[in-house]
Amino acid sequence: MKVGVIGSGTMGSGIAQVASTANCKVIVYDVKQEALNKSKTALEKVMNRLVEKGKFGTNRAEEIQNNISYSDQLQSFESCDLVIEAIVENPEVKRNVFTELEGIVSENCIIASNTSSLSIASLAASLKKPERFIGIHFFNPAPLMKLVEVVPAIQTEESVLNKTKETIESWGKVVVQAKDTPGFIVNKVARPFYGEALRILEEGIADVATIDWTMKEIGGFRMGPFELMDFIGNDVNYTVTETVFKAFYYDARYKPAFTQKRLSEAGYLGRKSGRGYYNYAEGASNPKPKQDEALAKMVFNRVLVMLINEAADTLHMNIASAKDIDLAMTNGVNYPKGLLAWANEIGIEKCVTELDSLFNEYHEERYRCSPLLRKMARNGEVFSL
């Protein structure tokens, strides 16, 4: 198979590495020759490190690199079977590229976008043959992250969907299918991990260090929500939250927090700026967590039931299957358990009781219980995974 990748940034280069490792011939396109040179050099360094670690031999490393060619001419994609776009999240820029690309590739070439937030249907509409278009959302870094969300537009032909899933699975990825809705699976379901933690902080129930310690110590998460927001970048995380909030017609469940907005405005972006919820300067002291068992249990349960509620509602709205939702969260953001499996474990009825308690306390729409959870609790059902 011949694969084209539009964009030689971190994501585009990562996708190219994944495809070339799966023995595809890959062409990486970028308008800037300097960016292409940087991508090629970065791959060489990655391959050298993998050889040093004994992941594979020098010949295999050279083979992977030789599978990739670099071009500043879109015309190079003429014989590609699949082209994946991984450029700036600007719909107009993407549409212009797709319109030009369609005049170059064959009629059978699948055209895809790696977008994490834009409407696949809207991007597909820029083509004369929108049925060949699909979303293929890799997670960063693409060579290491197992999950790929495949998102068909309403225009996408079933044969294109099946071929895409088959191809990405052959690249060694865990493929989940999502409906074309804001945030797809992972970026939608994960919102309460940040949002509810921020709400707990803003109410003064627990501080940053305590909430992070709680989610790691009791929940088994690899990183606490504030550590993770600092790692992602508070500007990036806030923008994703705001985008999902607007895209869901200002649904209160996705409401952004002023705390994160102010940190972004102040330039406290997290690790990349040296300061966020924590201070990353050398020798800086950060607050210690309050290891109060009762407080920790309350904080953990509150965040967890909000995550479970979001996962359940994602299933309720037919955005993805129960199996794919749990696969997405364990493989896309490394959750210790699938949220629906977790709901089965702690009890659906308990989840409903906790959510109703929060709603009765606040009378805010963000705490409304998913109809699916309520129905399952009433019928004594569990999620089938």
Does the annotation count 137 as an active-site position? yes
In Å, what is the CA distance from 309 to each residue of 59, 72, 367?
50, 46, 9
Q: Catalytic: 76?
A: no
Strands 174-177 and 25-29: unpaired
Residue 137 tokens read as 């959302």
Mean pLDDT of the chain: 97
- 132-184: pLDDT as tens digits: 999 999 999 999 999 999 999 999 999 999 999 999 999 999 999 999 999 99
| Banded model confidence at residue 345, pLDDT cuts 50, 70, 90 | very high
- CB neighbours of residue 23 within 10 Å: 12
Contacts of 322 (CB under 8 A, 6+ apart): 315, 340, 383, 384, 385
Longest CA–CA span in the chain (Å) reads 64
Residue 38, domain CATH = 3.40.50.720
Residues 200 and 288 occupy one common structural domain = yes
Confidence band, pLDDT 50/70/90 cuts, at residue 117: confident
Active site residue 187: yes
Among this protein's residues, is 89 annotated catalytic? no
Both 231 and 195 in a single domain? Answer: yes
Same domain, 321 and 349: yes
Express each pLDDT in 214-259 by its tens digit.
Answer: 999 999 999 999 999 999 999 999 998 999 999 999 999 999 999 9
Retrieve residue 181's tokens.
């809705």
- More confident site: 117 or 19: 19
Q: Is residue 162 located within the same domain as residue 192? A: no
Catalytic hit among 13, 67, 113, 149: 149
- Long-range residue pairs from 40-44, CB within 8 A, at least 24 positions apart, any chain: 40/68, 40/70, 42/13, 43/13, 43/16, 43/17, 43/68
* Mean pLDDT across 85-107: 96
The Cα–Cα gap between 322 and 309 comes to: 13
Is residue 10 packed enough to be buried (19+ CB in 10 Å), middle (13-18) or exposed (0-12)?
Answer: middle
Cα-only R_g, the chain: 22
Helix axes 293-316, 371-379, angle to 10 degrees: 100
CATH number, domain of 355, equals: 1.10.1040.50
pTM for the model: 0.95
Range of the domain at 148: 2-177
User: What's the pLDDT at 283?
Assistant: 92
The token duo for 217 is: 């110590």
| 153 and 12 share one domain | yes
Q: Which of 67, 116, 237, 344 is catalytic?
A: 116
Check 39, 67, 126, 137 and give the catalytic one. Answer: 137
- 255: tokens are 């409401």
Last residue of a domain, one of 152, 177, 202: 177
Sole residue written with tokens 């300061």: 275
Query: Of the listed 13, 39, 114, 187, which one is catalytic?
Result: 187
Model confidence pLDDT, tens digit, residues 194-203 = 999 999 999 9
Percent of the chain exceeding pLDDT 90 equals: 98
Contact 156, 134 (CB under 8 A): yes
C-alpha angle 317-321-324 in degrees, rounded to nearest 5: 130
Domains: count for the chain: 2
pLDDT of residue 280: 97
193 with 173, same domain: the answer is no
Q: Where does a domain end: 113, 143, 177?
A: 177
- Please tell me whether residues 369 and 274 are part of one structural domain: yes
- Retrieve residue 331's tokens: 């493989």
Residues 27 and 154 in one domain: yes
If asked whether residues 213 and 317 sit together in one domain, one would say yes
